[in-house]
Structure 1
Amino acid sequence: MAPVQFNRLLLFISFLFSIIIGAPATADQTTKTYIIRIDRFAKPSIFPTHYHWYTSEFTDSLSILHLYDTVFHGFSASLTKSNLDSILQHPSVLASFEDRRRNLHTTRSPQFLGLRNQKGLWSESDYGSDVIIGVFDTGIWPERRSFSDLNLGPVPSRWKGVCQTGVKFTAMNCNRKIVGARFFVKGHQASGQIGGPGGAINETIEFLSPRDADGHGTHTASTAAGRYAFQASMSGYAAGIAKGVAPKARLAIYKVCWNQAGCFDSDILAAFDAAVNDGVDVISISIGGGDGISSPYYLDPIAIGSYGAVSRGIFVSSSAGNDGPSGMSVTNLAPWITTVGAGTIDRNFPADVILGNGRKLSGASLYAGELLNGKMYPLVYPGKSGTLSASLCMENSLDPNFVKGKIVICDRGSSPRVAKGLVVKKAGGVGMILANGASTGEGLVGDAHLLPACAVGSDEGDAIKAYVASASSTATATINFRGTIVGIKPAPVVASFSARGPNGLNPEILKPDLIAPGVNILAAWTGAVGPTGLDSDSRRTEFNILSGTSMSCPHVSGAAALLKSAHPDWSPAAIRSAMMTTAFVLDNRFKNMTEESTGKQSTPYDFGAGHLNLGQAMDPGLVYDLTNDNYVNFLCSVGYNPKTIQVITRWPVNCPARKQSPENLNYPSISALFPSQIGAASWSKTFIRTATNVGETNAVYRVKVESPAGVTVVVKPGKMVFTEKMKKQSYVVKVTIENSKGGLVLGDSGAVFGSISWSDGKHVVRSPIVVTQMDTF
């Protein structure tokens, strides 16, 4: 061994020895789980693998949970603070971050996306056959019809994954549809050492295997790639043929989330490592922070794992989060992730509240039990004179003497919507009206309540409460359930819960990227719990109807599978570009899309580039492509140093001497940020974009500009000519604010919006433009 290598080895072994026996006991000895990022190039050559390097000396002493060697290099371990401090002193350690708990972001939608049998993208992609979608979620209930492998061909030969067995999950539960399944629980189990929600698996409510005890994972998997299931419904609601977006795509299941305990970063990162090695083509991850706050990319295992996947050509779609309609609530912000918000479809489940004074108010419900049949019942509102917990119908908050035999008004918030109905039922109530608050506005989702119940918007809720206040003890009401209605207008509408922009980390990149169906989506369900997920719900259904950006994300995952099947040479960035530049911004009335909470016109902060439109995405004409080097240059431009960037990329990097502008990442949208105070007569910003022709070989595209209010936008050249030899063309966009013309007058969202569109007469390639000033963030 060379002297230098031998000295490095002695240094590393002595360092490990000091951790094992030399750490002072006086330091904070609370054990927590940390993810440690190691410089893989620092491995002494005496060790044949990184596995041997990490484990030869200290595996048992440091309680290593996961070893990472594909999308990330390092390990996760249960450490005391003194252990961690010692580890961070070693020159091979690039970074560490504490394990965090994440949350799940919780038919007719394929037709609504423009998919039709025997034609268009479904036909030309063979329904996504042989594309493998990795679903990171709560597992799967494999016996559902949605996961049949009837008439599917052999498992793609490139697949290298496994069917991991466990409690009530055998190798027979995998097939040519579910080609693999794994579960990741070590981070969850270790979290119990810090008094967290994890720890030992409660086998009365969970399966230590890929089997789904929650339902969320089964729902998202079948949304992305469920097979045709005839005569599907949820207790009669949404009856018809259930199918996923890519019915022939294969599924690889990665159970990283656990019933009532959430999902831990260390397990999620391990799943990314496995999925990339296994050979997936698409990763669907409906998981994120539950507070609308995003960590920097180098401290975010979802961002790091996603980069490792995308850098190898794997498309990653993730949910935007459910913290809307508040601004800057969108999560999963990395520019290599496709971030998906939620919209409605043209199907609804209406229910009417009929008051004693004859007034009828519209709501929504999926209640399927014994009906009220028009009988009027006394109507009460516990919040009128009770506590806040009573108005929210929290556990043990209702006085049975007050609510027995009555319909109870409950305010939305603080507990699950269906749980409020259970509280009312236990207290003797005969029905519930669930009223939105001002923050959720008029947005409605259907729930499979355990008693006659109906959700109403904020305005309707206020009207009902006003009626109770005026009528006092004589107030009465009933609820009429009207089943399933198709052809609702307007649709789509941006869901009130869908997280909104601007991007809180780098507002130069517009997020979300687009929206997809995420309200009242029918898909397969677990056999472990009822449709409400409540312990007391003894009903079992093959399908369930759920809402959330968790539901919109797998629509885009399935769409990516179709596009990957039709265009196997397209990069993840090209696939996202095709979706974004062909997205629509008009509803089925041919008017600008609105947003659900207020009914006002929505903006790119709500929907990104628009609503997914698969009828056009297969043939977008032009795409905006991106390479790993482009992403590295972006990270340099936002101020990350080479060591920090290596935490994300795994490879040492050198930032260019001349700092680039983050706005010049070749993204399918443009976000122009100006200083809060512009002293000059005018202020301009210039953006460069490069378009790649994926349509007809010889094509001429001309630009159309819709300038935001108070802004001048000039595009040069105004014409791009593509030939067999000239497949890429660059253009410049100059955005100018003219102080002499009154400057920038920002709207309610703190920005003004426009677009540029390139057209060759057949294709329209549209990119949104967002213009704002820095003091709005």
Structure 2
Amino acid sequence: MSGSSPCIHSNLLLLVIFAGLTLINAEKKVYIVYFGGRPDDRQAAAQTQQDVLSKCDIVDTEESIVHSYTKSFNALAAKLSEDEAQKIAGMEEVVSVFPNRYHKLHTTKSWDFIGLPRTARRQLKQESNIIVGLLDTGITPQSESFADNGFGPPPAKWKGSCGRFANFSGCNNKLIGAKYFKLDGKPDPDDILSPVDVEGHGTHTASTVAGNIVKNANLFGLAKGTARGAVPSARVAMYKVCWVSTGCSDMDLLAGFEAAIADGVDVISISIGGFTFNYAEDIIAIGAFHAMKKGILTIASAGNDGPDESTIVNHAPWILTVGASGIDRSFRSKVVLGNGKTFLGSGLSAFDPKQKNYPLVSGADIPKTKADKENSRFCIEDSLDPTKVKGKLVYCELEEWGVESVVKGLGGIGAIVESTVFLDTPQIFMAPGTMINDTVGQAIDGYIHSTRTPSGVIQRTKEVKIPAPFVASFSSRGPNPVSQHILKPDVVAPGVDILASYTPLKSLTGLKGDTQFSKFTIMSGTSMACPHVSGVAAYVKSFHPKWSPAAIKSAITTTAKPMSRRVNKDGEFAYGAGQVNPLRALSPGLVYDMNETSYIQFLCHEGLSGKSIGAIVGSKSVNCSSLLPGHGNDALNYPTMQLSLKDKNETTVGVFRRTVTNVGPAQSVYKATIEAPQGVKITVTPTTLVFSPTVQARRFKVVVKAKPMASKKMVSGSLTWRSHRHIVRSPIVIYKP
């Protein structure tokens, strides 16, 4: 554009999310300025970044620059006004500009439950060379889970570092790296500028992936056993990018990815939520793509917004997305009423009752004032009459967590909490407490109002056996809100009632007045499921160090244990290919492999512009017309298949072309087995795949013909390749949007 200013605004769409605030153009906010490509000359890249700011009349560039990324990315976090951001977005050197956003954080029996016992075979020498990088809330270096007894020096490939920080004793030969990123420079009154974990989340996830073998781990004597990670001999590197008060910002996440990639980790585990429908502005997707290019697989949590549909996050196809399932253990507390009736409630309460019964009241009946009556039934703070709470057990409906804290603070004994959600996710109580469903709640409320002297007691929590596996109610569901042909989540793993290491810097509940502290705690969430699969990925990599990220992902996906549609009505949109199966993943037989070009071709077929694709893959732009032609269904060699039906009242035909690579015996024969739901015809060509020492990869075609279905309906079938040694299963999902 000759004769034009280099800052003329282009037609590039700039998505700006300001959380409902109306801002004047002059107000400065942090933006990510993405240049694309991997800088060969870090100094030159930094100079280019400064030059871009100068061209747009940003005089004090050093004051504007929050952070310069020049190791794995060519990017910049800078304080800009909206006008300045728009101007920079139009410059030729710049691939994309988007505002810095904040993400939320999304367990010992679990390993035995999914089939990875302590006696499982291992490649200990290679396992000790595996480095798992976690982007999280930090870590507790003094935890037994990260002691380095028996560990030699870090692998020669390790380029990371670890210093001494506030409340942080330093690293060792197990915990070989620890860094923190708080690029806005603002102090967090509830956190510490250090890799130390104040929240407990990072310590929990890190010990689940690669924690040492620790005997007699328990919480209140519950879940007692040996705590361990999937790969106890592996090394851990923690990148603290999440903070108590602010969460996890884009600029800190990008810095964490950049450091982990440059340091030489083998697997990245990230139990953090994404929320954008645009891959080109999704920092986790961008960071994971760059990791993939370096041979690093990123495993991420699916989100905790279930059971609503299309709530899945971290859904880019180069990420292994993990939902949460339950194991065959839960925690129940018995509620005994004065009339002799008993009910089982959910939750963890360590308190033994000091007497047989306590007076029982309903929060709805004891408001502080008439105006507080609506809030008092939820036992919200400052809504209850203290004189009517003291010495009593209070029945409340769930509106906010921590009602037992409110009751205890007023001199009450504890709380019976009615809820219609999270009943499969026992909470820790800081005073006698338990959670019951609405049916039991109505029975208890009816009893309270049937006698002048209602009474009851909550007994100490006990461990009970339950049917499993099942998908947790909170685990986010598909369908994929962005890519109609990519099934998400990929798999599920234990994410309910997971015991793992914890921080001494936070009480078990974090509630005011809680004096309970422990080296271990029980947590639930897809945050807990994610490190289980990260650990399995590290375990597989220890046996197959040269496998690509896609090959490892395929091995985990196609060997997953199928789950019951009768138990989980959302089917594959809840559990993907099924429950992770660690030992079978070591020997999948066949893998659906992919490289960087495969993903770029997929993005082209998704309809992204060349510049948007460039923002993801790290180049100025991508010329989609130069890539090989293909169709939406087969633009990616994905190990699962999903067909979205057309709006018209006619049969929809989907064609999926796939290639499988033999990683089993050199001479193998696989035969296809098809399962098709009613109203759907599925065929595969050829029906037999023959591999020899000279033929290691075979192509096949799957044709799916589906009759019209009702809106929002999903049915599923499968394609299974079988040899005399291996079973390679791919779910096939048919969905009517």
Under a length normalisation based on structure 2, what TM-score does the superposition of the two structures give? 0.91
Q: In the alignment, what sits opposite 2:29?
A: 32
**Structure 2 CA distance, aligned partners of 1:593 and 1:613?**
21
**Structure 1 CA distance, aligned partners of 2:516 and 2:73?**
43
Q: Secondary structure at the match of 2:462?
A: coil
**Structure 1 CA distance, aligned partners of 2:375 and 2:630?**
53
Summarize the alignment of residues 372-411 of structure 1 with structure 2, pairs less than 5 Å apart. 374-382=356-364, 387-411=373-397
**Structure 2 CA distance, aligned partners of 1:410 and 1:106?**
29
1:646-682 C-alpha deviation (Å, 9 max, x unpaired): 0000124221367633321111111011112234xx4
**Structure 2 CA distance, aligned partners of 1:744 and 1:592?**
18
**Structure 2 CA distance, aligned partners of 1:508 and 1:109?**
32
Q: CA RMSD in A?
A: 2.7
Matched, 1:78 2:47: no
Q: Secondary structure at the match of 1:484?
A: strand
What's the CA shift for 1:50?
0.4
Q: In the alignment, what sits opposite 2:681?
A: 712
Q: In the alignment, what sits opposite 1:362?
A: 344
What's the CA shift for 1:360?
2.3
Matched, 1:763 2:712: no
Q: 1:221 aligns with which of 177, 183, 206?
A: 206
1:537-594 C-alpha deviation (Å, 9 max, x unpaired): 23321111111111111111111111111110111111111111111124xxxx6572
Q: 1:421 aligns with which of 404, 414, 427?
A: 404
Q: In the alignment, what sits opposite 2:640?
A: 669
Q: Secondary structure at the match of 2:118?
A: coil
Q: What is the identity, as a one-letter code, of the residue corresponding to 1:479?
A: I
What's the CA shift for 1:71?
4.3
**Structure 2 CA distance, aligned partners of 1:101 and 1:388?**
33
Does the C-alpha gap of structure 1 residues 512 and 42 become closer, same or farther in structure 2, counting only changes over 3 Å? closer
Bigger Cα displacement from structure 2, 537-546 vs 476-485: 476-485
What's the CA shift for 1:281?
0.6
1:444-491 C-alpha deviation (Å, 9 max, x unpaired): 2223311111122344334434444x5265443222234223xx2411
**Structure 2 CA distance, aligned partners of 1:41 and 1:602?**
41
Matched, 1:201 2:174: no
**Structure 2 CA distance, aligned partners of 1:547 and 1:86?**
45
**Structure 1 CA distance, aligned partners of 2:441 and 2:483?**
38
Does the C-alpha gap of structure 1 residues 532 and 427 become closer, same or farther in structure 2, counting only changes over 3 Å? same
Q: In the alignment, what sits opposite 1:502?
A: 479
Q: Secondary structure at the match of 1:631?
A: helix
Matched, 1:54 2:27: no
**Structure 2 CA distance, aligned partners of 1:457 and 1:147?**
39
**Structure 2 CA distance, aligned partners of 1:113 and 1:234?**
22
**Structure 2 CA distance, aligned partners of 1:751 and 1:473?**
53
Q: What is the identity, as a one-letter code, of the residue corresponding to 2:640?
A: S
Does the C-alpha gap of structure 1 residues 230 and 98 become closer, same or farther in structure 2, counting only changes over 3 Å? same
Matched, 1:284 2:269: yes
Q: In the alignment, what sits opposite 2:138?
A: 139
Matched, 1:447 2:427: yes
Q: Secondary structure at the match of 1:656?
A: helix
Structure 2 unaligned spans of 5+: 10-22
On the 8 A contact 1:294/1:505 being kept in 2, the answer is no
Does the C-alpha gap of structure 1 residues 186 and 753 become closer, same or farther in structure 2, counting only changes over 3 Å? same
Q: 1:175 aligns with which of 148, 172, 175?
A: 172
On the 8 A contact 2:358/2:393 being kept in 1, the answer is no
Q: Secondary structure at the match of 1:481?
A: coil
**Structure 2 CA distance, aligned partners of 1:105 and 1:649?**
26
Does the C-alpha gap of structure 1 residues 617 and 538 become closer, same or farther in structure 2, counting only changes over 3 Å? same
Q: Secondary structure at the match of 1:302?
A: helix
What's the CA shift for 1:370?
3.7
Matched, 1:330 2:327: no
**Structure 2 CA distance, aligned partners of 1:360 and 1:617?**
45
Summarize the alignment of residues 240-259 of structure 1 with structure 2, pairs less than 5 Å apart. 240-259=225-244
Q: In the alignment, what sits opposite 1:686?
A: 655
Q: In the alignment, what sits opposite 1:731?
A: 700
Does the C-alpha gap of structure 1 residues 313 and 460 become closer, same or farther in structure 2, counting only changes over 3 Å? farther
Q: 2:460 aligns with which of 478, 481, 484?
A: 481
Q: Secondary structure at the match of 1:367?
A: coil
Q: Secondary structure at the match of 1:333?
A: coil
Matched, 1:95 2:81: no
Q: In the alignment, what sits opposite 2:500?
A: 523
Q: Secondary structure at the match of 2:98?
A: strand
Matched, 1:265 2:250: yes
Bigger Cα displacement from structure 2, 386-395 vs 756-765: 386-395
Does the C-alpha gap of structure 1 residues 615 and 467 become closer, same or farther in structure 2, counting only changes over 3 Å? farther
**Structure 2 CA distance, aligned partners of 1:64 and 1:332?**
28
Q: What is the identity, as a one-letter code, of the residue corresponding to 2:419?
A: N
Q: What is the identity, as a one-letter code, of the residue corresponding to 1:454?
A: T
Q: Secondary structure at the match of 1:733?
A: strand
Q: In the alignment, what sits opposite 1:555?
A: 532
Q: In the alignment, what sits opposite 1:119?
A: 120
On the 8 A contact 1:529/1:535 being kept in 2, the answer is no
Does the C-alpha gap of structure 1 residues 83 and 702 become closer, same or farther in structure 2, counting only changes over 3 Å? same
**Structure 1 CA distance, aligned partners of 2:72 and 2:601?**
19
Matched, 1:631 2:631: no
Does the C-alpha gap of structure 1 residues 392 and 761 become closer, same or farther in structure 2, counting only changes over 3 Å? farther
Q: 2:561 aligns with which of 584, 588, 600?
A: 584
Q: Secondary structure at the match of 1:368?
A: coil
**Structure 2 CA distance, aligned partners of 1:375 and 1:396?**
26
**Structure 1 CA distance, aligned partners of 2:141 and 2:680?**
54
Q: Secondary structure at the match of 1:361?
A: strand
**Structure 2 CA distance, aligned partners of 1:706 and 1:459?**
40
Q: In the alignment, what sits opposite 1:570?
A: 547
1:187-223 C-alpha deviation (Å, 9 max, x unpaired): 3x4xxxxxxxxx3222xx3211101111111111111
Q: Secondary structure at the match of 2:231?
A: coil
Q: Secondary structure at the match of 1:325?
A: coil
On the 8 A contact 1:529/1:537 being kept in 2, the answer is no
Matched, 1:594 2:567: yes
Q: What is the identity, as a one-letter code, of the residue corresponding to 2:344?
A: S
What's the CA shift for 1:124?
4.0
On the 8 A contact 2:360/2:395 being kept in 1, the answer is no
Does the C-alpha gap of structure 1 residues 388 and 640 become closer, same or farther in structure 2, counting only changes over 3 Å? farther
What's the CA shift for 1:505?
1.1
1:718-748 C-alpha deviation (Å, 9 max, x unpaired): 111111111111111111124xxxx4357xx
Q: In the alignment, what sits opposite 2:12?
A: none
Does the C-alpha gap of structure 1 residues 549 and 384 become closer, same or farther in structure 2, counting only changes over 3 Å? farther
Q: In the alignment, what sits opposite 1:654?
A: 623
Does the C-alpha gap of structure 1 residues 85 and 296 become closer, same or farther in structure 2, counting only changes over 3 Å? closer
Q: How many residue pairs were aligned?
A: 711
Q: What is the identity, as a one-letter code, of the residue corresponding to 2:463?
A: T
Bigger Cα displacement from structure 2, 127-136 vs 521-530: 127-136
What's the CA shift for 1:709?
2.3
Q: What is the identity, as a one-letter code, of the residue corresponding to 1:594?
A: V
Q: Secondary structure at the match of 2:624?
A: coil
On the 8 A contact 1:349/1:483 being kept in 2, the answer is yes
Identical aligned residues as a percent = 39
Q: What is the identity, as a one-letter code, of the residue corresponding to 1:325?
A: P
